[in-house]
A and B are shown apart, each in its own frame.
Chain A
Amino acid sequence: MTDSDSGMDLEALRDGVRGVVAEQASHERVAAFTDGDETLNAALWTQASELGWLALSAPEEAGGLGLGPQELAVVYEELGRSVAPLPMLGSMLAVEALTAAEASDQTAEWIGRLASGERIGTVSMLRPGVFGTALTLTAGEGGSVVLDGVADSLLDGASANLLLLLARDGEGLKWVVVDTAAEGVSVEAIRTVDRTRSLGRVTFASLSLPAERVLAGDAAAIGEAVLTHAALAVASDSQGGAEAVLDITLEYLKTRQQFGKPIGSFQALKHRCAEHRLALVGSRHLIAEAVARAARGEDDALRYALSAKVLAAATGFRVAEDAVQLHGGIGYTWEHPCHLYLKRARLNEQLFGDEAAHLDHVARLLLAAA
């Protein structure tokens, strides 16, 4: 099956994305970007916008293509494959939150701007379990709301200008939209060791916002939709990265000669590669199932997504870790791409909750059904 449930030819989409990324995010270009001080790879962002990648999941009435998890998973996997510096996930999570909220003219407009690439979005760094936040909302003058506190660890925050943040008011959790340009708010960029991405931090000191910036809808349900999307995205990114770096490693093992033969003929190295491939076959099947369940909107979509993330992120790390080791000295250099994959894999493990947080919530969901 190469078609998604929505009828899109996923292999054609994959070929298209791979072709663009291979050129725009070649290892040389990624290295040049990560060595520089730019926070946004403008050329790649423009390509992604023009090719409609950012519009894949937005509803048609908001100017999008109305597609979903299966199409996005293909894009995320390809971005991971080439460790592409494209701040797409934050924007797509913002679209997810706006789509999960009650529709209004305002949500449609924001979705449209994110889908066109005019705006770059991000969301609160959620973690599985009971959602928490350090932001508070209080009533302001004339029906406005007042936002206080720190929003930390915003993925792709350095380039984001439309923030979807979880805050708490007297009633409970609320999602609130902050338009950084309109509000005169600036996001402090936090450079991560994985230089293909970044985090951001914003401090709010009694920022007054119009009441319509508070999204209508069940905040926890919106959070679950965001978390499901995030888990599938990070899992796909990890999978793509691990498969690519394993392929690079296998090529090296076939060509690098020591003791008069290719080092890939040594059984100690062969068995490790076989273990990595086995793990990747498994995680690929689990991700595909989790994505399919999310696309069908099944009740256990979150549990499958979290399971896929924890498995794929752990596998992605193990493969990238061993890729450096299997390359020997060359794998330890800055010029070789191995370290880019390793650092991206390590950040993936931590994004939207670590392994323990994922396993604990999967256990909670299993127990609720047991």
Chain B
Amino acid sequence: MIENPSRTFDPLALKDDLTAFRAEVRAWLEAVVPADWRETMRGADEADYVAFQRWWFAEMAKVGLATPHWPRDWGGADIGIRHQIIIYEEIARAQAPNPELFVISLYHLPATLFGHGSQAQRDRYLTGVKERGEVWCQGFSEPNAGSDLASLRTRAERKGDVYVVNGQKVWSSFGASADYCLLLACTDQNAPKKQAGISYFILDMKAPGVTVRPIRQATGQSEFCEIFLDNVEIPVADLIGEENAGWMIAQSTLSAERGLIIFELSERMARTMDADLAEAKRTDAAWLRDDQTRREFTAAYTDMVTLRLMIRAMMEEVEADPHMASSTLPTYIKIHFSNVLRRYTDFRVRIAGLDGQIEQPVIMGGGHQTGNVMYDFILSFAWSISGGTVEILKTVIAERHLGLPR
């Protein structure tokens, strides 16, 4: 999989000229993305998959395209919306891998540390991602604290220079490969509101007392993990923000998930739907000749166009105000994306007929629209459940945005 590109690439050096920038991103992708990576990853085992993800992340980092959305002060390129659109369009066009192992590292970690981390934490951990490809996972949910996250029971007790942590976390994506974890734990069980007793920590996954156990998902894969914490010591320096301020900081973490991550996924979705339509036209597919299914596709396509417009509007808000404190768009975007993804993957299952029910090996890291229709459909639940279910988000909209009483 290691190629030797004919030359070095430096798209960010050309960022003042959008056409040249796009051409350089495209040339880099053509030189570096292995044409057969999907075949290689079809049915690949966990170790090969993780190795491939790390390789891809390193290739992106070499040309500055792993963290281009980060501010310059923190090792990014500070590029704007037009450049990001180009990058994601070209990545989607090239059908390049999605660096999903690094989602928390690239989005949730910076969203948390930019606003709330100490300078030392930003220096240490953002550099670790950028230069060493450190993998992060998220330790929020617990067996009895899902949608009701504030009811978490993992406890952290201050003892001298460390917090001693005991408890159990669940649904931590890629926990088995992670170097660090963004951890929420209770530091004051007597707080008047549960939210006011939660603190936010950086957990070293190699610390003594940390045990990780994979959970097999409905897709058959084991991306999620349980994390068991048995008298784990976390240095006080790895507390993010103030003690008992973790709940508020966690909202910043989750806002990353509701916005920027979907940007890349929506560009890939647009590409997939265009490709599906072109393929159906080429083969004179039955679903295209049938009025009902063709109309379903067209309506879903319109929803996809709408999703991309909402994301572009959000990106303009991000440029105007990087912390988007008042933005309501990320919440709408997350629900809309979940809905469109479910609707379209369901459509693909139905038009595939009985053939779609035949078990096929999964393309590891192939994203949300691999063409393996039942896998894609099952995987769509990840978006409507994780990071706040659609139902929780509707309540958020009703109470915070529409002003309906609690």
Contacts and interface: CB of A to CB of B under 8 A. Distances in A.
Interface of A: 250, 253-254, 261-262, 264-265, 267, 269-271, 273-275, 277-278, 281-283, 285-286, 288-289, 304, 307, 310-311, 355-356, 359-360, 362-363, 366-367, 370
Given A366-B301, A367-B281, A274 B397 contact: yes
Contacts of B406: 265
A307 B309 CA distance: 13
A362 B298 CA distance: 7
Given A271-B394, A273-B404, A366 B332 contact: no
B402 A278 contact: no
Nearest to A368: B281
Contacts of B281: 367, 370
Given A277-B397, A286-B305, A363-B298, A270 B404 contact: yes
B303 interface: yes
Interface string B163-200: 00000000000000000000000000000000000000
A106 B305 CA distance: 41
A273 B398 contact: yes
B295 A359 contact: yes
Interface string B125-166: 000000000000000000000000000000000000000000
Contact of A363 (B297, B303, B394): B297
Contact of B305 (A269, A277, A307): A307
9 contacts: A250-B402, A265-B406, A269-B404, A270-B398, A271-B391, A271-B395, A310-B302, A362-B298, A366-B277
Contact of B398 (A274, A281, A310): A274
A278 B398 CA distance: 10
Q: Ordered nearest first, which 9 A-B pairs have the shortest CB separation?
A: A270-B398, A274-B394, A274-B397, A264-B404, A285-B309, A359-B295, A282-B306, A359-B298, A265-B405
B277 A370 contact: yes
Given A271-B394, A359-B299, A360-B291, A283 B402 contact: no
Contacts of B274: 370
Contacts of B295: 355-356, 359-360, 363
B245 to A, nearest CB: 28
Nearest to B295: A359
Interface string B302-345: 11011101100100000000000000010010011000000000
A4 B62 CA distance: 42
Interface in B382-406: 391, 393-395, 397-399, 401-406
Contacts of B288: 367
Given A270-B399, A278-B335, A286-B305, A261 B405 contact: yes
A366 B406 CA distance: 45
B405 A254 contact: yes
Interface residues of B, number: 37
B331 to A, nearest CB: 9
Nearest to B307: A282
B313 A285 contact: yes
A195 to B, nearest CB: 30
B207 interface: no
Contacts of A261: 405
**Among A261, A278, A310, residue most surrounded by chain B Cβ atoms (within 10 Å):** A278
A307 B302 contact: yes
A235 to B, nearest CB: 12
Nearest to A304: B305
A263 B310 CA distance: 31
Nearest to B292: A356
Nearest to A356: B295
Interface in B351-406: 391, 393-395, 397-399, 401-406
Nearest to A275: B394
B395 A267 contact: yes
B310 A281 contact: yes
B278 interface: yes
Given A264-B398, A274-B398, A311-B303, 18 more contacts: A254-B403, A264-B404, A267-B395, A270-B395, A270-B398, A270-B404, A271-B394, A274-B394, A274-B397, A278-B336, A278-B397, A285-B306, A288-B309, A307-B305, A360-B295, A360-B298, A363-B294, A370-B278
A135 to B, nearest CB: 29
The residue among A264, A274, A282, A367 with the most chain B CB atoms within 10 A of its own CB is A274
A360 B309 CA distance: 22
Contacts of B297: 363
Nearest to A286: B306
Given A261-B405, A356-B291, A363-B294, A278 B306 contact: no
Nearest to B331: A278
B309 A265 contact: no
Contacts of A359: 294-295, 298-299
B298 A282 contact: no
Among A254, A277, A283, chain B packs the most CB atoms within 10 A around the CB of A277
A256 to B, nearest CB: 11
